[in-house]
Structure 1
Amino acid sequence: MPVDLRTHDPSDDVHIDSSEIHDRLNDIPKGSVTGTLTRLLNEGDIGKTADSYYHALESRDDLRRFARGLVQIQDLTERYDDDFTSADIEQTGENPTSGAYSGTGHNSSATEKPAPEDWIESTDDASRTNDSV
């Protein structure tokens, strides 16, 4: 949770410590979070409050944008709580399931990149004839 460092009160319970991060990301080795936070602090990439809580630096616009992006992603996933199914994943794969134009031309197979002739042919929509009508 973001904390305004200008008004930060150590007695407020509005922070996340390294053990809470590790609990949420339980597939990482123990000690990784603390080690990473310590390295970032030593390199000047983050700060640390007097009561030992890490925070982003106000002077780092790149970190602020990154954190804002993470918050936006979290908002989107909470707002649109749809889980992907295996059918959704297959639908986005290499092989289209519909009869839609696949982009591969006559001179190349589906597993190859289109030949230069195919690029020219596929982008020249004005010269196409509709043989199926």
Structure 2
Amino acid sequence: MPETSSPSSRYVFVYGTLRKGDDNDITRLAPAPQFVGHASIEGVMHHLGAYPGVRLAPGRVVVGEVYAIEPALELKLDEIEMLYPEQKDEYFKREIAVQVDGRTLSCVLYEINPSYIVGRPVIESGDWVRGRHL
């Protein structure tokens, strides 16, 4: 698929409730994101009840989706993840390299604070869609 994102676009890797069809489906938000492709990263996914949290770590795979987003949508995602204006510490915003259809893209990722996953089960599949019903 050709890339048609604007120069001001950034990319985001979503792995949980922001995935298409889930509770916070990113495709229902505005300004509308552009689907770039399915992807995976190295990390460990934890079940936190109504949503997952991912900790970046080698050796396991987390599956998700990559979208091109505009700055206004990035602010909305920060609100959903309670980085702004609440400024809670549950998630950290990271920039990571993600392989999508043979390209390496710099993507925003919301990584869980390790203090929130103590004692929480691991989703072995690394796929929230498959592992949400532990």
Whether the TM-score (by the shorter chain) exceeds 0.5 is no
Q: From the two aligned structures, give the one with the greater strand fraction.
A: 2
Which TM-score applies when normalising by structure 1? 0.25
Q: Larger relative CO (CA 8 A, sep 6+): 1 or 2?
A: 2
Q: From the two aligned structures, give the one with the greater helix fraction.
A: 1
Which TM-score applies when normalising by structure 2? 0.25
